[in-house]
A and B are shown apart, each in its own frame.
Chain A
Amino acid sequence: MSVLARNNVVLSGAPGAPAMVFAHGFGCDQSMWRFVAPAFEATHRVVLFDHVGAGGSDLGAYDPQRYGSLDGYADDVVEVLDALGLGPAVFVGHSVSAMIGVLAAARRPELFDRLVLVGPSPRYVDDDGYRGGFSAAEIDELLETMDDNYLGWSAFIAPVIMGNADRPELGEELTNSFCRTDPAIARRFARTTFLADNRADLAGVTTPALVLQCREDVIAPPEVGRYVHEHLAGSELVLLDAVGHCPNLSAPDQVVEAVTAYLARVPSR
């Protein structure tokens, strides 16, 4: 199976225009970008994909060892970009995919033009002098809940999702997407995500980056966004007047505006 099929890569936008890749975070799939990505189709070749294990990706390609660390996901991003051959891309990563983009850009800088990191966190667990937002005990509780007590986590991995009477096409699409989430893979992805410590990797990035941070976010609190900005040379931090971890859904207009302004302000390399 080709890399593009493995990651369910979907292309849209202007052929021949600079590439803009959107990477979804933990929990959902590429549909997370449905209110943001279309705004860039006039100016960019827009690339959407699903991480292996999510959405329409090839679940058979899921290898617990490869995806036991974020490096495996970063390898996938590099492979997708190599396979597309669209030149240096603007990489927009949400949540854990922000760090996946950081790893990939450190490894293959020539593939990345600029980075947009939405709600990034290099480490979720508090550490000496570092506040990640979760105590080690809380993450343990989360992983324990997921590992031992199936309920409380993965019973809602497959919730009964009702279609929206006004937009039935959304309901069906999401139901499909969510039903495809294998609970065992979701648990492993959570473990990989929430136990990762990629703080040291920030120093290896030379690509210009925009950090988008919500004013309130229990998953990646503002101080974490600031930490990323301070440790990422040549990065900019923009605080969104939004609450929650998914401004791409709750405040898509702000996200589009901030990214558009950044791309206009910081020239392509």
Chain B
Amino acid sequence: MSRPADDAWDVAPVALLRLDGDGTILDANRVLVEWVGRDPQGLRLSDLLSVGGRIYWETHLSPLLHMQGRVDEVAVELRGPDGRVPVLLSAAVHAAADGTRCVDVALSRATERSRYERELLAARAAADRSADQLRALQAATASLSRGVGTDGVARALVETAVTHLGAAVATVWLAAEDGTLVRRATSSGDRAPEGTDVPDEPWAPAPRRADDAPRVPAQPVEEHLAGVVVVALGAPDAPAGTLVLSPRDEPFDVGVLTAVGQQAGLALERARMFDQKASVAHELQHALLTTHLPPDDRFSVTTEYRPGVQALEVGGDWYDAFLVDDDVLAVAVGDVVGRGLHAATAMGQLRSAVRAVAGPDVGPAALLSRLDRFVTQTGAGFMATLAYAEVDLVTGHVRYACAGHLPPLRFRGDGTHEFLWEGRSTPLGLGVDREEAVAVLDPHDVLVLYTDGLVERRDRPLPDGLHALATAGRALGDGSVSDLVTGLLVRAGDVRDDVCVLVASWTPRSS
């Protein structure tokens, strides 16, 4: 292909160039000379481009020409005497007459097109931003809805702030009863770059002006130095607290934070009601479990109750200890099937029934039979399990019976132990013959009754749980029952049941 006639070449409505195989300009038409304001011969095409275009030519376009011989409609900018000139570049490789490699390039002005494209890009950026905002909001809302209780919501809030809202550090401060703000949760801070730590203060909204001054409405999101923002949780006028954030790299989106603040206010309101209900439920349970024993130097009884992790629902576990007559101590630990108020009510009834039907001449087996009748008549506590024992405080004889319940555990003074596996029968309400058995305590022996929550876990068989209890229980002489329970539960994880434990020890009076 030969160079076109001078006229056609120079009056073409586009800038035309011919490059050698290295990209050096061999020839250019008058249009190009006008656009770039100098004689381009001997320069390389990339010298005429803006820096972005130059790098793009070297890293993208030149490789493409080598690999496929042609590129079309690529937007670049020429550096002209009056600033940049947006152009569209098309280029094709061909062999010159002498067989060497040549590149023909045509550049057409793209000022209007580039303006139009900028508008399109701005619109796309706005759409992307909306989508990002929506995603962040959805993530925050979902995360808040999973938080249980006030502390759960506060934790969810700082986590979502770091993972979805672009915060380096996040802190939640909640209003205490006296109105002061108390820190309730802080992000782990692992991601926080040096020097972006949020100051250790609540950054409360600015104090209100005096009443006679015009009221300035509180802002839902206040911006402070270094990009730190304070988000009101709930109504800006009376927030439930504040979320204090320092930015990771980009400024925060005030619109998203405002919406998250409102969502968090609602979530905190719900959490507060939940906390209240949970507290009522646990007070009720505590009241049902109260045990009053006369002071007696022949025995000591210690109890421990731990609610399950899903804290709102009360469970059906109970313990009790009372004197059947002057010299006989009765101890009981039971478990009603199910959860919630229904189970708690049945538990209360059954616990009272045990006390009512127990008596000096009854004994464990007969007591279970009477409870069977009670369960059949009232329907309360069907299939409940119960471990019941009567300790003769003079002789140390223990009569005991287990209705479907785990066996009592006896520790001797020398550190050995024994599970009392006899006296077993079915859970309550099935109306079968009831068994009982006898064990004889030595002075200072300890008897442990417990519910399955202490030893049963999904990730191990029951015998392992019993073994763990027996091992941990050896320390009972030194530590408290509370420590024992804590030690056994520490590895139980998030999904655990209620736990009741009763520990009784016998110390006979020296004759």
Residue numbers of A with Cβ under 8 A of B are: 25-28, 31-32, 34, 95, 134, 138-139, 141-142, 145-146, 149-153, 155-156, 159-164, 166-167, 170-171, 174, 190, 194, 216-219, 242-246, 249-250
Contact = CB atoms under 8 A, between A and B. Distances in A.
Interface residues of B, number: 40
A138 B55 CA distance: 11
Contacts of A163: 68
Nearest to A119: B58
A218 B74 contact: no
A160 B67 contact: no
Contacts of B22: 216, 242-244, 250
A151 B63 contact: no
15 contacts: A31-B67, A142-B51, A145-B50, A152-B50, A156-B74, A161-B64, A161-B68, A162-B70, A174-B64, A217-B58, A218-B44, A243-B22, A243-B44, A245-B62, A250-B21
B53 A243 contact: no
Contacts of B74: 156, 159
A134 B51 CA distance: 9
B58 A153 contact: no
B510 interface: no
B407 interface: no
B76 interface: yes
A164 B63 contact: no
Nearest to A153: B52
Max chain A C-beta neighbours (<10 A), residue from B68, B69, B73, B86? B68
A244 B23 contact: yes
Among B50, B60, B63, B69: residue with most chain A CB under 10 A = B63
B72 to A, nearest CB: 5
A156 B59 contact: no
B59 A95 contact: yes
A134 B47 CA distance: 13
Contacts of A142: 51-52, 55
Given A150-B121, A152-B77, A159-B73, A170 B63 contact: no
Nearest to A159: B74
Contact of B58 (A139, A155, A190, A218): A218
A160 B59 contact: no
B46 interface: yes
Interface in B125-146: 125
A145 B51 CA distance: 9
B24 interface: yes
